[in-house]
Structure 1
């Protein structure tokens, strides 16, 4: 899909140098003379084509948050730029084809959130051959030729999830029993880091991991959760979930089995999960600022298109990077996180079903 942001047409300026001696011997026009504009237009005059490739539509954040936030930030920074957009629908080969199409269309920079961080290295290689820089967005691409990485501290995400779960269990007096872990796909470097952060906290607190699954696919997670409920029953004291999709899958499985809900974690602060937290179902989620991440990506993309060197606050494997810090979201701070940042309007969260819970928790 292609979204056009281009505004005005460009004027190509030529400067005619008049050579004057004791007598006028002639005039010449030189497009490469000092002070002459580049025929393609200067960085400030020329719009660029910027490619944004997102990995899937199962995580609602990509279409409802990342894409529109990136588009808005790009339009503000570069009104004459053109956004080329595509979603891979969980298909690494499809994402490769989408990237090739954008390069063929003349994209000056690619911003890629990979479905498969290893397979996406081929996108970087192809772009490099055409001197097009690639920004890894949200998820790492395993390539030394990346121009920049924009993401979140996902090890910290896992630590926040694990600590929230352990604190909740201890508060409820649960000192033994097991936890079922619904981790993200092992092809996703973020999922690996999330699991690392969460496992360190959970195992360090002495709780037993009964079983685990690596997937971002909700239906697969729900089937697995149902099987674990049938196998372990009341031994399950919590479901650790790496994201909100898996969390809602676990809650659905518990409801279907008639099992009392146990604390369940999440990530992405989706609207469904925020409402689920208000309803006392999902215990917590983790919020990373979608607007902040998308705005930084747009800023760096425009800088790279202009041939500038963006500043970085961190490095990952020697590649300049920008990492946001995540926030844990529970029923106690919904108003101070996703509502305050304008991710959701109060009217979107506090529908009739959740109005009483909103009022009780100061969400107005």
Structure 2
């Protein structure tokens, strides 16, 4: 099991907000840096990578390393292809590589290649294990799980009080090979486990969507409905893509009124479901800030500098020689009551995009 050797070595928490911490080490443009920086994405399936991370990374690179060119590659959920892309980056004299791993458990060889070539590699979003890396840029997933489950727990309490029966929950989670899975599960358990012990919540089925693929989540939900003879009141998913797929299985079965808890990444479909009341809440990182930080880390690495202490949240134990520095990006919570502030005002989506079509068209947010 991954969690047997991958974890976090806790250090003192940051004593400032994310924006304030970044201000301590202002990312001035590194005009002296030239050459190529590679940004390697894992797949086209997960909406955020191409829709949010790619343009945000390009924008940040243009600002921070204006005299460098950026090569963006996509590994199409293929570990061997990702390894070949890293080899190509090395052959093309990359000055730095920022990589979102396809499979965190199969990155040791890739990390070794970059180290042997003397090219700094930053792991972002997905962890890298079994080898050296300059940094791991992620989000605080225990907190994410806590906030997801806290919102779910409130509704579950209300449902139980109304019916006097335990709420029947399907847990459709993600891929346990990813280290943040365990952190998120830990946070979720803090709020759901007491409800289970109190007899207010019953987990009628639980499954993992390997590689976080929606198709795997939908299949898992189909199997759950068959197993329980459609005896499900609610679904808890870890992110928007898997949650939407699980809900699609429910809708295909002709079931109504099934609650969807959890959610992460703030896909357009996820935000629309929140507006329509079909999904309890959503969460997201600040994609612009996170990718700017990824480029900033690459700049420090290319200059041979250590990561500024004010950016390091902890040490991530990736199973290799004491681990690597972890830098955490901030999260925001999205509810149907704050969509304007958390989504529209931040530039994530326009109101027209949210309301143009789909389930949100008749929501209070879109009618307002």
Q: Which bracket does the TM-score occupy, shorter chain normalised?
A: 0.7 to 0.9
CA distance in 2, matches of 1:74, 1:101: 20
User: Matches of residues 313-324 of structure 1 in structure 2 within 5 Å?
Assistant: 313-315=312-314, 316-317=316-317, 318-324=323-329
**Deviations along 1:15-51, whole A, 9 cap, x unmatched?**
xxxxxxxxxxxxxxxxxxxxxxxxxxxx743413111
User: Alignment length, in residue pairs?
Assistant: 320
CA shift for structure 1 position 91: 1.2
> Is 1:101 equivalent to 2:88 in the alignment?
yes
Q: Counterpart in 2 of 1:357?
A: 363
User: Matches of residues 161-180 of structure 1 in structure 2 within 5 Å?
Assistant: 161-173=148-160, 176-180=166-170
Q: TM-score, normalised by structure 1?
A: 0.83
Q: Which has the larger radius of gyration?
A: 1
Which of residues 222, 226, 248 in structure 2 aligns to 1:226? 222
**Deviations along 1:204-239, whole A, 9 cap, x unmatched?**
222232222222111121122122122224642211
SS of 2:346 mapped into structure 1: coil
**Deviations along 1:130-156, whole A, 9 cap, x unmatched?**
111111101111135111111101121
> Is 1:301 equivalent to 2:306 in the alignment?
no
Q: Note if contact 1:114-1:120 (Cα within 8 Å) is conserved in structure 2.
A: yes
Q: Note if contact 2:31-2:67 (Cα within 8 Å) is conserved in structure 1.
A: no
Q: Counterpart in 2 of 1:24?
A: none
Higher relative contact order (CA 8 A, sep 6+): 2
Q: TM-score, normalised by structure 2?
A: 0.82
CA distance in 2, matches of 1:275, 1:360: 10
Gaps of 5+ in 1: 1-42
Q: Counterpart in 2 of 1:338?
A: 343
> Is 1:212 equivalent to 2:206 in the alignment?
yes
CA distance in 2, matches of 1:310, 1:86: 26
CA shift for structure 1 position 327: 2.5
CA distance in 2, matches of 1:127, 1:155: 30
**Deviations along 1:266-296, whole A, 9 cap, x unmatched?**
1111001111222222222211111111110
SS of 2:93 mapped into structure 1: coil
State the superposition RMSD in angstroms: 1.9
Higher helix share: 2
SS of 1:71 mapped into structure 2: helix
> Is 1:152 equivalent to 2:139 in the alignment?
yes
